[in-house]
Structure 1
Amino acid sequence: MYVPRHFHEEDPERILALMKQHAFATLVTVGEDGAPFATHLPFLVERDASGATRLLAHMARPNPQWRAFAAERDVLVLFQGPHGYVSPTWYATAPQVPTWNYVTVHAYGRPHVLESPDTVLRVLRDTAALYEAGNPEPWRPEAVDDYVRRLMAGIVAFEVRVSRLEGKFKLSQNKGEEDRRGVIAGLERSPLPGDRELAVLMRTREGWTAGG
């Protein structure tokens, strides 16, 4: 990924937070024929006891992508955060041109199929628990345990042990303070949730309060 120095994110906590908050990511592999293949999946983002990051997910067994894991090559997992159009009319200075602000993380690592039924079940339970957390009456796989175990034959669970992370947080860092304030104000006026999330990220990085 091309990352100009202004937009290079090095803070591991910011990167991890982005990955966890936007965990529906894109898994990209390259087949023996050199053609790329992509699948969109919800991931669990974890740190192990050593501090290393690993990604856990599952896909349908008929999906051929998991068979590429046997090639022992790195895969790429793309985490896309909020993004939005930036109008030149929002800047305090001129001339300016339109651009796009966005946040993304690229994770690289070797994938491995998880064979243990208990481990596969743990992935399913943890994934459900994560996305059911806001439900006043969360659905639990244990409630239909036999049914879930039968369905497990139709999926492939896997992990990616991350060897490299690239974070690109393009949040107008190459502009002056008044221009950045203008972009934040423009994003905050937008009806789009992603635009307003970008504004929050920009304020957080600057240490500015909503009124300041």
Structure 2
Amino acid sequence: MLVHPWDAALDDAEWQAWIADGHDFGQLCVNGLPGRPPSVVPTHFTADADELLIHLARPNPVWEAIEHDPDVTFTVIGDYAFIPGPWRAQPGTEPTDGVPTSYYAAVQFTCRAQVVDDPEAKADLLRRQLAHFQPEGDHAPVAAGLPPYGRMLSGIRGLRLTVTEVLAKFKYDDHKPVEHRAGVAGRLTARGQALDVPAARQQARRLERLGPWRS
């Protein structure tokens, strides 16, 4: 993933806060077996210290590839929007001369995968995930040997992804003048399609922290 200086996370706390703010669905990317293309699996995940916790169905075809090569990538993308060319035209030029672009936030984790098959360990992984996704605790106990989850544990495998590197990108035209960035954020809010408003919030947040871009 190409990250220009103006697209980079301002610090680790920025991407960590973005992940914690409900960005808990991504794509697990696994090197393919010899002669096969890479495998990509969309899934929810839970961030736990320096690990990502995942579980997948046992019949998922990705397991053989992970066991062959446990070095994987997990990517989370969000707050994206298409920016039309006229919105980016230079002052004093024809609007049609503007060049369109995409805005988005992305965090890419490089990880070492460990498969979890022990029933008690899988139950612990599920408890950690449910504590994140159902913090109200409105579910039956998750324990090996106890219904309803106990009998289901054999149908899944867990993954602990130890994070070895993080690459974060917030692509919101931060190298452009303040007036331009504020104007685009306003246009996104007014258009209000899909993820326009979250993208505008990200642009406004970065604008407030950065102000005018300084290389």
TM range (shorter): 0.7 to 0.9
Number of the residue aligned with 2:72: 75
Query: Aligned AA for 2:13?
Result: E
Tell me if structure 2 keeps the 8 A contact 1:72–1:110.
no
Number of the residue aligned with 2:6: 6
**Hey, what's the Cα distance between the residues in 2 that align with 1:193 and 1:13?**
26
Q: How many percent identity over aligned positions? A: 26
Query: Aligned AA for 1:85?
Result: F
**Hey, what's the Cα distance between the residues in 2 that align with 1:10 and 1:29?**
29
Query: Please, what TM-score do these two structures have when normalized by structure 1?
Result: 0.85
Seen in structure 2, the aligned counterparts of structure 1 residues 181 and 10 have a Cα distance that, compared at 3 Å, is closer
Query: Please, what TM-score do these two structures have when normalized by structure 2?
Result: 0.84
Q: How does 1:172-183 map to 2 (within 5 A)?
A: 172-183=173-184
Residues 147-195 of structure 1: CA distance to partner in whole angstroms, max 9, x if unpaired?
2110000000011101011111101112111110111101111223511
Q: How does 1:185-204 map to 2 (within 5 A)?
A: 185-204=186-205
Tell me if structure 2 keeps the 8 A contact 1:42–1:57.
yes
Q: How does 1:111-150 map to 2 (within 5 A)?
A: 111-133=113-135, 139-142=138-141, 145-150=146-151
Aligned-residue RMSD, C-alpha? 2.2
Number of the residue aligned with 1:27: 28
Number of aligned positions between the proteins = 200
**Partner secondary structure for residue 6 of structure 1:** coil
Number of the residue aligned with 1:15: 15
Number of the residue aligned with 1:205: 206
Which structure 2 residue ranges, 5 or more long, are not aligned?
A: 210-215
**Hey, what's the Cα distance between the residues in 2 that align with 1:119 and 1:2?**
37
**Hey, what's the Cα distance between the residues in 1 that align with 2:196 and 2:182?**
14
**Hey, what's the Cα distance between the residues in 2 that align with 1:5 and 1:176?**
15
Number of the residue aligned with 2:171: 170
Tell me if structure 2 keeps the 8 A contact 1:77–1:106.
yes
Query: Aligned AA for 2:139?
Result: R
**Hey, what's the Cα distance between the residues in 2 that align with 1:159 and 1:202?**
33
Seen in structure 2, the aligned counterparts of structure 1 residues 25 and 147 have a Cα distance that, compared at 3 Å, is same
Tell me if structure 2 keeps the 8 A contact 1:26–1:41.
yes
**Hey, what's the Cα distance between the residues in 1 that align with 2:70 and 2:175?**
36
Residues 34-55 of structure 1: CA distance to partner in whole angstroms, max 9, x if unpaired?
41001111100121xxxxx210
Number of the residue aligned with 1:41: 43
Q: CA deviation at 1:129?
A: 3.1
**Hey, what's the Cα distance between the residues in 2 that align with 1:16 and 1:163?**
15
Tell me if structure 2 keeps the 8 A contact 1:129–1:140.
no
Seen in structure 2, the aligned counterparts of structure 1 residues 193 and 31 have a Cα distance that, compared at 3 Å, is closer
Tell me if structure 2 keeps the 8 A contact 1:110–1:160.
yes
Specify which of 52, 58, 62 is matched with residue 61 of structure 1: 58
**Hey, what's the Cα distance between the residues in 2 that align with 1:67 and 1:172?**
41
